[in-house]
Amino acid sequence: MKHNLRNALMLLLPMIAVACGSAAAPTTAPVAATVAPAATAKPADTAAPVATVKPADTAAPAATAAATATAATAATAAGAIDKTGWPAQFTLGLFGSDDAEKVLKNAESLRLRLEKALGMPVKMFTGTSYTAVIEAMRAKRVDAMEVGPFSYTLAVQEAGAEAIAVNISPSLKPTDTAKYDDKLTPYYYSIIFTKKGSGIATLADLKGKGFNFVDPASTSGHLMPKTYLVNHGIDPDKDLKAVFAGSHPTSVLSVWNGKAPAGATFEDNMYALQDNGQVDFCGFPTKHVRPSEADIKAVFDKCPDGKLAVLAFTDAIPNTPFAVRPDLPASMKKAIKDTLLSIKDDPEMVAAYRQWYVDPSVALGLKSLDQFYDPLRDIAKILNLDLKKMK
């Protein structure tokens, strides 16, 4: 794919971990300082203060106008938020997956933080599919959403969704305490791998062989590696004996156990399975950084037979965005974004929510965060995907 974002990612990968940490910092004072006093949280307080000149008083004396301007300046200096046009309630849409109650429970700390920062009730909506959440935004039943990266591109098309931050969720065991890590990036990679000694040493060797994808709708387990293969002269539908393993661990374990010669998964899954003692893998010195083709070959050549080894890294896959309705007031969008970006600076919140948000657009030189997802739009064109049919 020839695309500006792809080129930017490739050029900036060595710097992005540090750069994202800088880009993620709140653009104003911490959220606690920007939240209006409790009295301003009432719906009635979204209107101008009592001291403000009424529309009929446009001919008010200069002294009155000056006093009003002084009061407005003082309110701004005190950290008050202009809530003109804000809705009385904020609703966040989430994909309920197979366990909507669990999804709501996991997001409760975020709901409470938004409620406190915005000074209004915050409700959660769970849809039975990504499409249901997108439709809820189109119908203005939800004000914001978190859906998969591909589904976000559909939400832009169907509901005008506007990305304001990118989610980072570290790979953790249930007993681990989540901590902010500035080395984690707002994107990840899919890898194409084999078991060393299988007779496969290059992508060309995959032709005519069995191959494990994960699921038809999986970005890192199907769509991204399939696109990579197509761009490198391999038609998975014709050149491979491809199957869907059903899950990322199964895709890897099937190759490890000799039931398939090669497969695809996301990078962290391979390391997680190795950490759990389920596979033996020839990894790389640094995670979340795409090695050069020469480095990939060097690691592969040194890898002993019997271990899993990487044949290729795909292009970067953007993480899930937090997106808002385009017609929300600019001041509200900013308040929401500041709240999200402040999470990484609150250890207790990170421990409770087990994730945080960044905005990598400045570090990548993007005009808008939406451009971060352009590679997925390229994939949709290459594979002729109907995004409305994706779940």
In three-state form (DSSP H/G/I as H, E/B as E, the rest C), the secondary structure along 45-87 is: HHCCCCCCCCHHHCCCCHHHHHHHHHHHHHHHHCCCCCCCCCC
* CA-based max dimension of the chain: 88
Residue type, 73: T
List, for residues 2-36, the tens digit of each pLDDT value.
444 444 454 444 333 333 333 333 333 333 333 33
Predicted pLDDT of residue 79: 54
Predicted pLDDT of residue 328: 97
- Pick from 172, 141, 170, 166: nearest CA to 152: 166
Confidence of residue 150 (pLDDT cuts 50, 70, 90): confident
Cα 6 to Cα 26: distance, rounded to the nearest angstrom: 26
Backbone angles phi, psi at 186, to 5 degrees: -85, 25
List, for residues 257-275, the tens digit of each pLDDT value.
999 999 999 999 999 899 9
Instruction: Report whether pLDDT(60) > 90.
Output: no
Pairing between β-strand 190-195 and β-strand 262-266 as defined by DSSP bridges: antiparallel
Predicted pLDDT of residue 69: 37
List, for residues 159-194, the tens digit of each pLDDT value.
999 999 999 998 787 889 999 999 899 999 999 999
Cα 211 to Cα 259: distance, rounded to the nearest angstrom: 10
Cα 222 to Cα 41: distance, rounded to the nearest angstrom: 46
Instruction: Report whether pLDDT(234) > 60.
Output: yes
Domains of the chain (ranges, CATH numbers):
4-35+84-182+319-389 (3.40.190.10), 38-77 (no CATH), 190-314 (3.40.190.10)
The residue-averaged pLDDT of 112-127 equals 97
Confidence of residue 306 (pLDDT cuts 50, 70, 90): very high
Confidence of residue 80 (pLDDT cuts 50, 70, 90): confident
Confidence of residue 391 (pLDDT cuts 50, 70, 90): low
pTM above 0.85, yes or no: no
Helix spans in 119-235 (H) = 130-138, 149-159, 224-231
Residue type, 314: T
Predicted pLDDT of residue 361: 95
